[in-house]
């Protein structure tokens, strides 16, 4: 079970990252002076142009990439490495699914590693395969699935590990528009059912507004940081044709235009 929602608060203070710290001469910071608090259970969006450092920041939170300075804490604990409280969903499911395993075996992979007994594994995989709408496809292999279905398998596998914090790096960026829309709706449903903290990276304003409770805007790099945070109080499911949605869209778009 996840910890209560009020826990798992992510505190980021004066965070910075350079990939050439050891180099002589000027250090080039990718991100610098990033300050952010994300509350447990929140759906937070990181929005910014391509190359500004969104993946770098997400991978630092995941513990995959080391920070060059500043602090990253989850509740009171400084984070330095990956942990089972966090899991990442990447843009390309292909690179994260094992092609020689079926849908069910892929979803159960982490549970096998943890030596979860078979009946329990089966119960958990059934439940998450159902949650992402793949019941009936359990015995298929990745090559028999569409891009959207593979992305669902990746999501089910991550959810089966029951991380309190879901880190999503443009997870629907490679999907066609209709599949993307379906996945966005399902993600919201899953988030509301499971009460997880979600940090979702996108460069798409509409996607940001459909999903996020708060939207953190990252500036163009180098030395990118979070310059503004917009609240999105609209209730779910959100209607992109509503005047309120359009108003928020224009606000954020004008932010990038200036
Ligand atoms: N491992 C790395 N070594 C050197 N530079 C990197 C590395 N990873 C990313 N960068 C650079 O950091 C910047 C931000 O990249 P990234 O975090 O992937 O941006 P985004 O996800 O916003 O597109 C880019 O200029 C990229 O070239
Ligand atoms: Mg990226």
Distance from the alpha carbon of residue 53 to the mean position of ligand 1, in angstroms:
6
Closest CA to 196 of 159, 233, 231, 230: 159
Residue 101 lies in a domain: yes
**pLDDT tens track for 132-171:** 889 999 999 999 999 889 999 999 999 999 999 999 999 9
pLDDT at 168: 97
Would the CB of 51 count as within 6 Å of ligand 1?
yes
pLDDT band at 118 (very low <50, low <70, confident <90, very high): very high
Structure tokens at 22: 């050891």
Residue 63 lies in a domain: no
68 alpha carbon, distance to own chain's centre? 22
Q: Which ligand is nearest to the CA of 173?
A: 2
Would the CB of 56 count as within 6 Å of ligand 1?
yes
pLDDT at 208: 97
pLDDT at 2: 53
The domain of 129 spans 97-162
Would the CB of 256 count as within 6 Å of ligand 1?
no
Residue 65 lies in a domain: no
pLDDT at 5: 44
pLDDT at 23: 67
Half-sphere exposure of 76 (CA within 13 A, CB side): 0
> Which alpha helices (H) appear in 114-176, and where do they start and end?
118-131, 147-160
Would the CB of 46 count as within 6 Å of ligand 1?
no
Q: Which ligand is nearest to the CA of 34?
A: 1
Q: Which ligand is nearest to the CA of 47?
A: 1
pLDDT at 6 over 60: no
pLDDT at 204: 95
The answer to whether residues 71 and 13 touch, using CB atoms and an 8 Å cutoff, is yes
Would the CB of 19 count as within 6 Å of ligand 1?
yes
Half-sphere exposure of 10 (CA within 13 A, CB side): 28
Residue 12 lies in a domain: no
Residue 152 lies in a domain: yes
Residue 37 lies in a domain: no
Residue 6 lies in a domain: no
Please tell me which of 87-101, 177-191, 227-241 the model is most confident about, judged by mean pLDDT: 227-241
Residue 111 lies in a domain: yes
Give the position of tokens 């805007």. 217
Q: Compute the average pLDDT of residues 199-211.
A: 97
C-alpha separations of 257 from 46, 162, 201 in Å:
18, 40, 20
- Chain mean pLDDT for the chain: 92
Ligand 1 atom with minimal separation from the 56 CA: 17
The answer to whether residues 163 and 87 touch, using CB atoms and an 8 Å cutoff, is yes
Domains in the chain: how many in total?
1
Distance from the alpha carbon of residue 227 to the mean position of ligand 2, in angstroms:
18
The answer to whether residues 148 and 182 touch, using CB atoms and an 8 Å cutoff, is yes
Distance from the alpha carbon of residue 199 to the mean position of ligand 2, in angstroms:
13
């Amino acid at each position: 079970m996840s910890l209560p929602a009020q826990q798992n608060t992510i505190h980021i203070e004066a965070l910075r990252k350079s990939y050439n710290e050891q180099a002589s001469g000027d250090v080039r910071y990718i991100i610098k002076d990033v300050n952010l608090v994300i509350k447990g259970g929140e759906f937070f969006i990181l929005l910014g142009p391509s190359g500004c450092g969104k993946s770098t920041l997400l991978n630092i939170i995941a513990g995959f990439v080391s920070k060059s300075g500043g602090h990253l804490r989850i509740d009171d604990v400084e984070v330095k490495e990956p942990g089972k409280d966090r899991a990442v969903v990447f843009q390309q499911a292909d690179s994260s699914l094992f092609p020689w395993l079926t849908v069910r075996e892929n979803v159960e992979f982490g549970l096998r590693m943890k030596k979860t007994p078979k009946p329990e594994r089966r119960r958990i995989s059934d439940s998450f395969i159902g949650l992402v709408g793949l019941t009936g496809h359990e015995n298929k292999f990745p090559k028999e699935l569409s891009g959207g279905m593979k992305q669902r398998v990746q999501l089910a596998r991550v959810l089966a590990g029951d991380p309190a914090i879901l880190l999503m790096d443009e997870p629907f960026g490679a999907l066609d528009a209709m599949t993307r829309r379906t996945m966005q709706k399902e993600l919201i449903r899953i988030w509301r059912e499971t009460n997880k903290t979600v940090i979702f990276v996108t460069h798409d304003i509409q996607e940001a507004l459909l999903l996020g409770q708060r939207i953190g805007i990252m500036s163009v790099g180098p030395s990118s940081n979070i310059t503004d945070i917009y609240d999105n109080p609209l209730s779910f499911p959100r209607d992109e044709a509503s005047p309120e949605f359009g108003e928020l869209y224009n606000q954020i778009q004008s932010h990038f235009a200036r």
